[in-house]
Amino acid sequence: MAAACVTLSVAVGVFAVSFGVGSVSAGASVTQTCAMSLLVFTGASQFSAMSVIGSGGSVGSALAGALLLAARNGVYGLSMARVLPGSLGMRLVAAQLTIDESTAMAASQRDPRLQRAAFWITGVSLYLCWNIGTLIGALAGSAIDPRAFGLDAAFPAGFVAMLWPTVRTLRGRLAAALGALICLSLIPFTPIGVPILCASLAMLVGLPAQRAAT
Amino acid sequence: MSWWLVIALAAGAYGFKALGLVVLGGRTLPDRTLRCLALIPAALVAALVVKDTFSVGQHLQLDARAAGVGVAVLAAWRRLPLIVVIVLGAGVTALVRAFG
């Protein structure tokens, strides 16, 4: 578990560096970029918000898309509530660490004590790596010309990496294809950021009852 | 950029986390709702990929980024590590931009 945790933290640190670089090149200051990682601490939402801002979208549309992506952490919280008993204070701290990775690492353990340990170790080490990586990226990003290094493609490349685990199932692939199609067809006709919001309608492919398991 | 985005996103993101873990606790939601919520990342992240690859503001545009992201897709498909996917995506974009 410790080895898996270290590997994961390093990968997340690298991801955070690319967030830092992308965020400052999208127009945020180093302080804002770091504040976002410290306070928001959920990667996909941060990337999404800065991507919309970077394209010239409004704060409202950047926020709405990012919050839709953050909603899944609520679902993780539901499943982690059984794993994490304890005082209200501890649970309020644990809430900030409830993200994809900490939930997945905890869920991969059988014993409740190990589940708790996995959650806290993963959560705390990712929090550190995510914030150190963000700071490095933000400082580097404000020192170089991002376009010359192709760093405007770092966001979509990062999104590609994020997309991969979500399209393992047939429904995931359908939702992704539909989301991409909705977004592309709306870009010329709606304000920036709105196509991303509308793409969330593709989640409705989850409505029909499960038939063929994929 | 506005600080409001940072503050509102921080509050909202923490709100969702605490709603699940602290407020609702161990309750379960209907399967249908859970399935739809689980599909949000696939839909939105795919939309973000195409937006950041093929558009500038409200215009669709095919440029060096498409080559870089294409290579990133190949790298992700070959299960190369995250850092390789990102560095290849950015590197190929920079090369195509400089020499293309």
DSSP for A80-131 reads: HTTT--S-HHHHHHHHHT-SHHHHHHHHT--SHHHHHHHHHHHHHHHHHHHH
pLDDT digits (tens, 9 = 90+) for A178-206: 999 999 999 999 888 889 889 989 999 98
A162-199 residues labelled b (16+ CB within 10 A) or e (exposed): bbbebbeeebbbbbbbbbbebbbebbeeeebbbbbbbb
Q: How far is A82 from chain B (nearest CA, A)?
A: 6
Decide if A82 and B3 are in contact by the 8 Å CB cutoff.
Answer: no
Flag whether pLDDT at B43 surpasses 60.
yes
Residue to test with chain B: of A116, A160, A178, A190, most B Cβ within 10 A: A160
Q: How far is A139 from chain B (nearest CA, A)?
A: 17
> Average pLDDT in the A86-100 region?
90
Q: How far is CA A135 from CA A189, B7, B92, in A?
A: 36, 18, 25
Q: How far is A121 from chain B (nearest CA, A)?
A: 18
Nearest 5°: the CA angle A16, A17, A20 is 85
| One domain, residues A79 and A172 | no
This prediction's pTM: 0.85
| One domain, residues A23 and A87 | yes
Flag whether pLDDT at B39 surpasses 70.
yes
Q: How far is B77 from chain A (nearest CA, A)?
A: 8
| One domain, residues A54 and A145 | yes
Report chain B residues whose CB lies below 8 A from the CB of A172.
39, 42
| One domain, residues A31 and A104 | yes
Note the pLDDT of residue A211: 62
| One domain, residues A183 and A211 | yes
Note the pLDDT of residue B20: 87
| One domain, residues A133 and A179 | no
| One domain, residues A159 and A199 | no
Average confidence score pLDDT of chain A: 88
| One domain, residues A50 and A87 | yes
Report chain A residues whose CB lies below 8 A from the CB of B37.
71-72, 74-75, 203, 206
Flag whether pLDDT at A213 surpasses 70.
no
Tell me the residue range of the domain where A137 lies: 2-167
Q: Which of A67, A161, A175 sits opposite B86 (nearest CB)?
A: A161
Sign of the dihedral through C-alpha A188, A189, A193, A195: negative
pLDDT digits (tens, 9 = 90+) for A27-85: 899 999 999 999 999 988 999 999 899 888 999 999 999 998 898 888 888 888 888 88
Q: Which of A36, A77, A152 sits opposite B65 (nearest CB)?
A: A152
Note the pLDDT of residue B71: 95
Decide if B39 and A202 are in contact by the 8 Å CB cutoff.
Answer: yes
Q: How many CB pairs under 8 A join A and B?
A: 321
Note the pLDDT of residue B44: 86
| One domain, residues A125 and A24 | yes
| One domain, residues A123 and A207 | no
Q: Which of B22, B32, B47 sits opposite A207 (nearest CB)?
A: B32
Region for A150 from its dihedrals, namely left if φ exceeds 0, alpha if ψ lies in -120 to 50, beta otherwise: left
Q: How far is A212 from chain B (nearest CA, A)?
A: 15
Note the pLDDT of residue A212: 52
Q: Could you give the number of structural domains in chain A?
A: 2
| One domain, residues A110 and A177 | no
**A98: nearest CA partner in chain B:** B17
Report chain A residues whose CB lies below 8 A from the CB of B25.
78, 81
pLDDT digits (tens, 9 = 90+) for A106-158: 888 888 888 899 899 989 999 999 999 999 999 998 888 877 787 778 888 88
Note the pLDDT of residue B7: 95
| One domain, residues A87 and A8 | yes
Higher pLDDT, B29 or A57: A57
Note the pLDDT of residue A109: 83
